Structure 1
């Protein structure tokens, strides 16, 4: 066994004095659906509902009580805060001014009087710069959310626990990747102990399509900064993968990295909530959603999906539903040019089917004399209903534009 594996096991053993292992559970619903033996490693069930406290614990226990600081608006902040309180360490947590109050309050609750929260900057880069400047001036230790050797080592505990918990090891492990701390730790541990296992699990790594920093780094041969970033999957959308983490992941075949569309991910979040009662944040659901892409590769095989976090703000639920319906093709928005004559609106209503529902209706240009421009949102039960509706609109001479075909315009109008 390598030094890394020994250190990861030591870190895992030390965690037992602070919090219990998370369960690894077979999921019958997913197993039946995908024709495989699907298990969930429930990192959403840690005391802070994410795996982030593992790396924070391992790094902080080695610092010997040194004051720490971090920059985060999410799970890393909560993990650090929780560990500050339980290890008796003082911490300063920098968060963007735009951070939702619920996340600030939760971080403060976890940290108690051991944590000071400072709101700095409208954007995360400003917050990060402020945290690092504070550490340079104050002498505090800056604790990275992923690009830290001790954090990587602590996150490897997920793999240590999983191997200890399963009588028969999986053929495949599916895990989200953002900055790379979790996957670097797990993959490094599996490589280290692989020769001593009857089955050496393979890994598939999953990124949000709008934040595929590992894919970009593998293509370039080194970490690169993405030009654009979709922050919807806020727990995994990272513009640049860490240098230390990429050193562990640089040999991963590009075909083993999956990229999940954000709107499809919303369907998975809804399904797990409605059918299993499992509450997952977008990053936490990435590994489960990726099962759709693995298809025949997993049939008849044992698969573990790491559900990395369950810090879901239910105020986001309407947005999740909206995105899910638009991906499924059961909701569309149109800009409709409607004649300004008596009966024009009735003509439109008459072509709606029995399962079509108007979710939004708004005049965009109210001063037009001959035609009025209307924003209209339609929900239905099947994508085919829109083919019929669009044919009917053309037949009666309505001019329309589907906003789903123009995402930029859709963002501006909707």
Structure 2
């Protein structure tokens, strides 16, 4: 790929014919959040595009550069989400036949949306259980059939199409101080930055990544794009293992800083956007707002004009269960913790008296033996972390050992739904967290792949409407066969992690004879 100068990109952006398909999206003042943060917070509303995502801009701009021969032959792409929808819409507008390869794990709602946007011009092919498998097949199919491959981000015309957002934003907010842009493959950030930095180099541009897919941060550290071993599944719009070569070059030259955010912070930002606009952003679309909140607090900003890009609103409805469950944790308006209660008359009542009049969001109690019981508690906070610290001190004075689980992913994802079970006998138990591609019959295939050599002692699975299934599984593994078990796991085509030492598991679910975690464990 030939490298264009910044000036050449500026020309491409100014001449990009995206408005034949896309609209100039609004900029909305988030008045409620602005008051909370003492800064003017603005949101660039790319959810207003016909396909509810900015991806239409880059896809359509690339389509308009095709030669007559390329149009006649047709195009191909691989995508599980917004690029597929944008390309399908653009292909129909241009009258170009498009083949779009989507993983078999893609939710039906997204597959149907691509078919609806593309109509007779789009042929959807589902192949493989991951984006990498779908992309590899798309390249093979494209070469075999003579189709032009349309990449999702690492292409000058795609980058220029996304850069039109920067042009609009500068016209709508000429005095903006800082702009926050989500980064997956980097096309959106590269396009916005290469435009703005030539006209307003004083504007600070902050890249925002999910902690579970921070490919730009990793590339920045290495000085070149590198592949992450795995990426998180929640913010699927930015779940990219390797950012583009050209997008990295531009972002590396022009982006001022990088902020990473957690899933809980993303969930809180989705709620913030809904409270101010009544729009339900997809997780990737809420990254910028999550970063704005984090950046303002970390840098004690006030009186500034800050803008974020709401880059998409194609959320799977079932994902809202997860968002609702986690948003208050992300806002630090809820804390979850574990506590040990002496097994004596009146101890449970005394514990509740120490908690006082606080709103309890969750309470799980389990008899754990003759001397003690364990509880998993969620409480609503009005004053943030300081309020939880005061409560923990109060419980400590009352003789109750506690430890905070608000940042313990295993506790929030699995253990809170399993409190109440310990093995009645001593086991050689090891516990693992697995990810596997989610599709009809996938859970049965997962169990079949694990085999029957080792007894399953614990199992928890919950479908969050994502493309990946998340399982917590325990196995009774006699010491002589542990090496054989480890070898077996390595041969499985699943991501996994040994979580046998996680304090939430040990406190609530492990063999009773194990040493239990104390309140100083994190």
TM-score (norm 1): 0.84
Is 1:29 aligned to residue 35 of structure 2? no
Deviations 1:240-262 (A, max 9, x none): 11112112122246x62222233
1:173 equivalent in alignment to 2:176: no
Q: Is the 8 A contact 1:331 1:377 kept in 2?
A: no
1:15 aligns with 2:18: yes
The equivalent of 1:153 in structure 2 is 160
**Equivalent position of 1:241 in the other structure:** 243
Does structure 1 residue 314 correspond to structure 2 residue 321? no
What's the TM-score, normalizing by structure 2? 0.68
Partner residue in 1 for 2:284: 283
CA–CA separation in structure 2 for the residues paired with 1:53 and 1:405: 37
Moved more, 302-311 or 29-38: 29-38
TM-superposed deviation, 1:329: 4.4
Gaps of 5+ in 2: 1-5, 417-522
CA contact (8 A) 1:146 1:180 kept: yes
1:26 offset after TM fit, Å? Answer: 3.8
2-side partners of 1:335 and 1:37: how far apart?
39
Q: What residue is the counterpart of 1:39 in the other structure?
A: 42
Query: What pairs with 1:10-409 in structure 2 (closer than 5 Å)?
Result: 10-11=15-16, 14-63=17-66, 64=68, 65=71, 66-166=73-173, 168-192=174-198, 194=199, 201-252=203-254, 256-295=257-296, 299-333=302-336, 352-357=355-360, 359=362, 361=364, 370=370, 376-382=376-382, 383=385, 386-387=388-389, 402-404=404-406, 406-408=408-410
Q: Structure 1 110/298 Cα, relative in aligned 2: closer, same or farther at 3 Å?
A: farther
| Cα offsets for 1:345-380 (capped at 9, x unmatched) | 6665565533342535376xx9x7747976634232
Is the CA contact 2:21–2:60 (under 8 Å) kept in the aligned structure 1? no
Secondary structure of 2:20's counterpart equals coil
More divergent stretch after superposition (390-399 vs 16-25): 390-399
Q: 1:22·1:42 contact (CA, 8 Å) conserved in 2? A: yes
Displacement after TM superposition at 1:91 (Å): 1.6
Distance 1:344 1:35, change over 3 A: closer
* Structure 1 or 2: more helix by fraction: 1
CA contact (8 A) 1:34 1:291 kept: no
Aligned residues: CA RMSD: 3.2
Residue 80 of structure 1 deviates from its aligned partner by: 1.1
Q: Is the 8 A contact 1:260 1:286 kept in 2?
A: yes
Q: 1 CA distance for matches of 2:253 and 2:208?
A: 16
Count of aligned residue pairs for this structure pair = 403
Return closer, same or farther for 1:67/1:372 CA change in 2, 3 Å cut-off.
Answer: farther
Contact 2:29 2:42 in 1 (8 A): yes
CA–CA distance in structure 2, aligned partners of residues 112 and 73 of structure 1: 18
**Rounded Cα–Cα distance in structure 2 between residues aligned with 1:163 and 1:336:** 52
Secondary structure in structure 2 of the residue aligned to 1:290:
helix
Distance 1:339 1:18, change over 3 A: same
Greater alpha carbon shift after TM alignment, 337-346 vs 142-151: 337-346
Change (3 A) 1:147 1:297: farther
Partner Cα distance (2:158, 2:81) in 1: 16
Structure 1 unmatched runs, 5+ = none
Change (3 A) 1:374 1:136: farther
Are residues 144 and 391 of structure 1, via their aligned partners in 2, closer, same or farther at CA, if it must alter by over 3 Å? same
Q: Is the aligned partner of 1:6 residue 2:11?
A: yes
* CA positional deviation for 1:188: 1.7
Larger RCO, structure (CA 8 Å, separation 6 or more): 1
Q: Residue 16 of structure 1: SS of its match in structure 2?
A: helix
